[in-house]
Amino acid sequence: MAKINEVAAAAGVSIGTVSKFINKTKRFSPDVERRIAEAIERLGYESNPLARSMATGQTGAVGVVIQDILNPYFTAMVKGVNRIAQRNDFVVLIVDADENRKGERPALTKLSRRVDGLILNTSMPDDDLRWTASLGKPVVAVGSAPRDGLLTLHSDPVRAGEMLGQHLLMEKYQRFAYISLPNARGDDERRAGAEQVLARAGLPLRTFSVPRATVADGERVCASVMLSAEPPDAVICYNDMIAAGFIKEAERLGISIPHDVAVCGFDNLELGKLTSPTLTSIDTETERAGEVAMTTLLDALAGKSPDPHTMLEARLVVRESTVRPRDARRR
């Protein structure tokens, strides 16, 4: 691979001139420019990004940390990030937190040395999150409440929980359960939102929990929730993965949705359109969130001081899993 000095030699100019030409940081006489361009072309020269980073202190890379790449919620965000990144000639470095052996901090420290900024979408203890500000690079925390020193981007999870609760009340459900993913980001808030709305109607919310946000865990929890003395007639799941598993297992158990029980989740994943019945959920425009996160980061890197805290509006997406046919509801 040709180096800048070879190009300079071939074009009969100095190495500095080539550098300036490449970075468009200075113009030269048409003759010189032509010679350089021609040399670059002929040698197939491409500037070495590492050497460039070394000299400029900028990497042209961003780090994205997500909880689990198998969860479409996270990949949707990555899609958005990727789109904006590639458009701006940035490269994205991805870390799957679930696969990370050695705690968050060491991993983040290592990662941060290789990138200009970070986008975080994980359930990370509050302490760790706050600590990231000390990395000396801009970080966008997706799904986190506003916080000094960080750029954040989120949609109100309490509000989302309320929407689901309110919707279920309007559909005349009576006995509510919440499937929690303890310690996950937004878990408490989603639950609290639903709980508040139900409490206002004088109705309690029972909580169950699963260890991971997977379809398999949703399946596993279904029987223990539904085959009990007083099963709920409406269950709100921490996310759509769990909800989808729950629905599938209910089908196997001969439990009819939404006739026997309503089921809903959060994130509005595409798989919610594939289940039978289709899944009611909360849409948070995840892909767009990724775009916004990356745009915000780029602005910060460009010294534009963007809005530090962006709030995205959540939307209730009602599908079959929570809506009883008219006559059934009347009983």
Q: Nearer Cβ to a second copy, position 51 or 201?
A: 51
CA–CA dist 117, 111 (Å, integer): 10
Q: Nearer Cβ to a second copy, position 262 or 269?
A: 269
One-letter amino acid for residue 18 of the chain: V
Q: How far is the CB of 8 from DNA (least distance, A)?
A: 7
Q: Is 32 in the site for DNA (CB under 7 A)?
A: yes
From the list 9, 15, 69, 94, which residue makes contact with DNA (rule: CB under 7 A)? 15
What phi and psi values does residue 92 have, to the nearest 5 degrees? -115, 135
CA–CA dist 103, 101 (Å, integer): 6
Stretch 132-191 residues interacting with a second copy (CB under 8 A):
136
- Grouping H, G, I as helix, E, B as strand and the rest as coil, residue 110 is helix
CA–CA dist 89, 275 (Å, integer): 38
CA–CA dist 31, 187 (Å, integer): 64
Q: Is 5 in the site for DNA (CB under 7 A)?
A: yes
Residue with token string 């006559």: 327
CA–CA dist 6, 138 (Å, integer): 37
Q: How far is the CB of 165 from DNA (least distance, A)?
A: 53
What phi and psi values does residue 25 have, to the nearest 5 degrees? -95, -5
Total residues interacting with DNA, rule: CB under 7 A:
28
Query: How many Å from the N-terminal Cα to the C-terminal Cα in the chain?
Result: 77
Q: Which stretch binds DNA (CB under 7 A): 23-31, 90-98, 197-205, 265-273?
A: 23-31
Stretch 82-141 residues interacting with a second copy (CB under 8 A):
82-83, 86-87, 91-96, 99-101, 109-111, 113-114, 136
Q: Is 16 in the site for a second copy (CB under 8 A)?
A: no
> What is each CA distance from 149 to 106, 109, 131, 142, 328, in whole angstroms?
20, 17, 9, 14, 52
Assign residue 191 a region (left: φ > 0; alpha: ψ between -120 and 50; beta: otherwise).
alpha
Q: Is 327 in the site for DNA (CB under 7 A)?
A: no
Of 287, 261, 257, 260, the C-alpha closest to 275 is 257
Q: How far is the CB of 10 from DNA (least distance, A)?
A: 12
Stretch 43-62 residues interacting with DNA (CB under 7 A):
45, 47-48, 51-52, 54-56
Q: Is 135 in the site for DNA (CB under 7 A)?
A: no
Stretch 221-280 residues interacting with a second copy (CB under 8 A):
244-245, 247-248, 251, 270-271, 273-276
Interaction partner, residue 201 (a second copy, DNA, none; CB < 5-8 Å by kind): none
Write the CB contacts of 24 (distance below 8 Å, at least 6 apart in sequence).
Answer: none
User: 171 with 197: CB under 8 angstroms?
Assistant: no
Q: Is 10 in the site for DNA (CB under 7 A)?
A: no
Q: How many CB atoms lie within 10 A of CB 284?
A: 26
Interaction partner, residue 273 (DNA, a second copy, none; CB < 5-8 Å by kind): a second copy
Q: How far is the CB of 72 from DNA (least distance, A)?
A: 38
Residues contributing to the site for DNA (CB under 7 A): 3-5, 12-17, 19-20, 22-23, 25-29, 31-32, 45, 47-48, 51-52, 54-56
Residues contributing to the site for a second copy (CB under 8 A): 1, 46, 48-51, 53-54, 59, 61, 69-70, 72, 75-76, 78-79, 82-83, 86-87, 91-96, 99-101, 109-111, 113-114, 136, 215, 244-245, 247-248, 251, 270-271, 273-276
